[in-house]
């Protein structure tokens, strides 16, 4: 951008490329070492060298067969998918009401939604725990999922998107006899696929990686999500670095795949969410 | 007729908002009020004793707890190291990757990877790399630096965690800077070139000033998120805050007090103190950076 049409001297170019390559190495080398170490037998884990004949998937086989890693993986998927589905539907519904419907206290509701974003979550942690405890939802999927089904930020985000959909489209549909719900499901949701995708990806990744809440709510091992399970596994088997790192790769891979497949939505999400009101 | 459609519209809006309304009362409004009340109560989760009103005692206990005060110091130490480091690296990468190099898509994707990687996985990978006999020490020993257990020494644990945090989040801020750069009109640069401005002049006179709102935005976001740091500190240092408690952050302290010591009253008081700190700092930053922000 800055000086788009200038051709740079070779020296400047070399500095640019050096910085880019240096940071790429800083980023990638830890992953690379984690992958290679996870494939090594345990006696080789701290060796600098790689003996290609000894590389094996044994540690992956071991953690998924001897330890409940597959169960934790399953729990993570169930929770992340349920939370994502809930957010897509509920945030869009609220956003539609705010963008297109008329009702009393509309402004109040809007500012309340904005206001809730200002409160840091730790303040709410203890009372939410106590509420769930009274409901008997501790150590259950309900406790892991239900508190996170709605997000003020993405209601705001979807509202901004819905405001850009032309009103004429909606009026024509109303004249044709489509109900408000029909309009929402048949016109607004299909037209908002890019925004929905952005929202879905951020919520999925955020929930997949979330650690504090599941470590409070899931107390029995069968209910651990993968981050909680891996952390507790690390606590007991930290000398078996090949297995611990295999677990770390298993935990990282799904979100990395989602990111690489859908990266344009990530960038779009950050661009739209960071700015303008 | 007119009235009927109006009522219908109100009803539709109510139904559409219902999931949010339920969630708002159940997981926001009521908990917020409850947290405030608990912060004035002696509230032990264990045992059957009913909560007892104790006035400001919990706040007093929090503010005289050496561990909590230390955790505030540790957290600020962490923030002050992380915020400028990650923003400067992110800004440099953004300006370069914006369009000056080939393979920019590859670089952008690569730099963003750590931000989608679970903090638990990130912590574990770095626990391995920073071990006394780990790779980082093996490399450092070649240039004559004695191997040490980075995460287990009081004076090194926080800087080591800072390096992990910066590694993990530079990509996010780079992308926000990229989006800021894309809003600067080309004509400005063209005009500057006509006037004979050099590259560094353009950077200092156009790019940085026009990016100021974005720099402000990122500083606030980065600062607030570092003040709420939990995952890295808890996974690397445990609930005791690592060596001599030097890795203890404010949120780990709240977590520990609430869910390890089951002292919900004091933990709630701590949570409100942290909330107050974050709130005041946000206001100060706003003043400090002036009216730049148009968001």
Contacts of A219 in chain B (CB under 8 A): none
For range A178-200, the mean pLDDT: 92
Q: What digits encode the pLDDT tens for the residues B216-229? A: 889 988 999 999 99
* A147–chain B nearest CA distance, Å: 6
Contact A30 B13 (CB under 8 A): no
Residue of B nearest to A264 (CA): B109
Contact B19 A251 (CB under 8 A): no
Contact A3 B202 (CB under 8 A): yes
CA dihedral sign of residues A200, A206, B294, B98: negative
Contact B124 A247 (CB under 8 A): yes
List all residues 6 or more positions away from A259 whose beta carbon is below 8 Å from its beta carbon.
A201, A205, A266, B109, B112, B113, B116
Contact B193 A103 (CB under 8 A): no
* B158–chain A nearest CA distance, Å: 19
* A168–chain B nearest CA distance, Å: 18
Domains of chain B: 1-39 (no CATH), 59-290 (1.10.3720.10)
CA B134 from centroid of its chain's CA atoms: 28
Q: What digits encode the pLDDT tens for the residues A73-84? A: 999 999 999 999
Name the residue among B203, B166, B169 with its Cα closest to residue B188: B203
Name the residue among B109, B33, B180 with its Cα closest to residue A23: B109
Contacts of B217 in chain A (CB under 8 A): 274
Confidence of residue B133 (pLDDT cuts 50, 70, 90): confident
Contacts of A206 in chain B (CB under 8 A): none
Confidence of residue A274 (pLDDT cuts 50, 70, 90): very low
DSSP-derived secondary structure letter, B44? B
Nearest to B17 among A109, A205, A248 (CB): A109
Nearest to B13 among A16, A101, A211 (CB): A101
Cα diameter, chain B: 86
Candidates A27, A49, A148: best to mutate against B (most CBs of B within 10 A) is: A27
- Going from the C-alpha of A161 to that of each of A100, A166, A277, B243, the distances in angstroms are 12, 11, 11, 48
Q: What digits encode the pLDDT tens for the residues A229-267? A: 999 999 999 899 999 999 999 999 999 999 888 877 766
Residue B24 near residue A112 (C-beta atoms within 8 A): yes
Is 60 exceeded by the pLDDT of residue B28? yes
Tokens 């009521």 found at: B30
* B214–chain A nearest CA distance, Å: 9
Name the residue among B66, B45, B274, B265 with its Cα closest to residue A216: B45
Contact A255 B116 (CB under 8 A): yes
Contacts of A8 in chain B (CB under 8 A): 100
| Start-to-end C-alpha separation, chain B | 42
* A39–chain B nearest CA distance, Å: 14
Nearest to B109 among A248, A249, A260 (CB): A260
Name the residue among B142, B214, B148 with its Cα closest to residue B177: B214
Contact A5 B193 (CB under 8 A): yes
Contacts of A184 in chain B (CB under 8 A): 16
Residue of B nearest to A274 (CA): B176
State residue A270's pLDDT score.
58
Nearest to B272 among A123, A230, A275 (CB): A123
Residue B250 vs residue B199, higher pLDDT: B250
Is 60 exceeded by the pLDDT of residue A273? no
Contacts of B183 in chain A (CB under 8 A): 275
Q: How far apart are CA A97 and CA A111, in angstroms?
A: 14
State residue B183's pLDDT score.
84
What's the pTM value of the predicted model, to 2 decimals? 0.91
Q: What digits encode the pLDDT tens for the residues B136-195? A: 898 888 888 888 899 999 999 999 999 999 999 999 999 999 988 888 888 888 888 888
Residue B263 near residue B205 (C-beta atoms within 8 A): no
* B247–chain A nearest CA distance, Å: 17
Residue of A nearest to B217 (CA): A274
The kind and range of the H/E element at B52 are strand B52-53
Nearest to B110 among A24, A181, A245 (CB): A24
ipTM, two decimals, is 0.91
Q: What digits encode the pLDDT tens for the residues A84-128? A: 999 999 999 999 999 999 999 999 999 999 889 888 888 999 999
* B71–chain A nearest CA distance, Å: 15
Q: Could you give the 3-state DSSP secondary structure of residue B263?
A: strand
- Average pLDDT of every residue of chain B: 90
**Domain ranges, ordered by start, for chain A:** 66-274
Confidence of residue B293 (pLDDT cuts 50, 70, 90): very low
Contacts of B34 in chain A (CB under 8 A): 127, 130-131
Q: What's the topology of domain A66-274?
A: MetI-like fold (1.10.3720)
């Amino acid at each position: 951008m800055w000086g788009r049409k200038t051709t740079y001297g070779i020296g400047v170019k070399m500095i640019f490329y050096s910085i880019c390559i240096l940071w790429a190495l800083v980023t990638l080398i830890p992953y690379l070492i984690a992958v290679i170490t996870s494939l090594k037998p345990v006696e080789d884990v701290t060796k600098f060298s790689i003996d290609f004949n000894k590389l094996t998937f044994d540690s992956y086989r071991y953690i998924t067969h001897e330890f409940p890693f597959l169960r934790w993986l399953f729990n993570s998927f169930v929770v992340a998918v349920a939370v994502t589905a809930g957010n897509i539907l509920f945030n869009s519904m609220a956003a539609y009401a705010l963008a297109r419907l008329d009702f009393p206290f509309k402004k109040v509701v809007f500012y309340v939604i904005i206001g809730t974003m200002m409160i840091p979550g730790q303040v709410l942690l203890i009372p939410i725990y106590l509420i769930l405890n009274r409901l008997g939802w501790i150590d259950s999927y309900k406790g892991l999922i239900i508190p996170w089904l709605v997000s003020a930020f993405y209601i705001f985000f979807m509202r901004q998107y819905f405001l850009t959909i032309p009103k004429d489209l909606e009026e024509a549909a109303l004249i044709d006899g489509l109900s408000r719900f029909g309009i929402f499901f048949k016109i607004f949701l299909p037209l908002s696929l890019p925004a929905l995708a952005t929202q879905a990806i951020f919520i999925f990744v955020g929930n997949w990686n979330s650690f504090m809440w599941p470590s409070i709510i899931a107390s029995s091992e069968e209910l651990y999500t993968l981050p909680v399970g891996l952390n507790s596994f690390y606590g007991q088997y930290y000398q078996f670095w090949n297995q611990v790192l295999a677990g770390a790769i298993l935990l990282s891979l799904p979100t990395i795949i989602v990111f690489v497949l859908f990266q344009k939505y990530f960038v779009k999400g950050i661009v739209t969410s960071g700015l303008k009101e | 007729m007119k009235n009927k459609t109006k009522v219908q519209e109100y009803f539709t809006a109510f139904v559409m908002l219902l999931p949010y309304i339920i969630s708002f009362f159940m997981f926001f409004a009521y908990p917020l009020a409850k947290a405030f009340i608990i912060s004035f109560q002696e509230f032990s989760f264990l045992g059957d004793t009913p909560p007892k009103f104790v006035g400001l005692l919990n706040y007093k206990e929090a503010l005289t707890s050496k561990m909590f005060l230390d955790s505030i110091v540790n957290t600020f130490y962490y923030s002050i190291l992380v915020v400028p480091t990650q923003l400067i690296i992110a800004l440099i990468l953004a300006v370069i990757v914006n369009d000056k190099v080939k393979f920019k898509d590859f670089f952008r994707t690569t730099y963003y990877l750590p931000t989608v990687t679970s903090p638990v996985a990130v912590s574990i990978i770095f626990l391995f790399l920073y071990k006394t006999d780990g790779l980082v020490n093996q490399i450092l020993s070649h240039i004559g630096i004695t191997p040490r257990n980075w995460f287990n020494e009081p004076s090194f644990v926080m800087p080591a965690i800072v390096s992990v945090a910066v590694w993990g989040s530079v990509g996010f801020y780079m992308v926000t800077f990229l989006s800021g750069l894309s809003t600067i009109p080309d004509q400005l640069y063209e005009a500057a070139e006509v006037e004979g401005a050099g590259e560094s002049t353009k950077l200092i006179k156009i790019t940085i000033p026009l990016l100021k709102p974005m720099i402000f935005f990122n500083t606030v976001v980065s600062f607030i998120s570092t003040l709420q740091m939990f995952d890295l500190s808890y996974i690397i240092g445990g609930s005791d805050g690592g060596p001599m408690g030097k890795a203890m952050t404010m949120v780990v302290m709240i977590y520990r007090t609430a869910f390890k010591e089951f002292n919900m009253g004091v933990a709630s008081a701590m949570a409100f103190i942290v909330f107050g700190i974050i709130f005041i700092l946000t206001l100060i930053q706003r003043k400090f950076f002036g009216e730049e922000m148009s968001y």
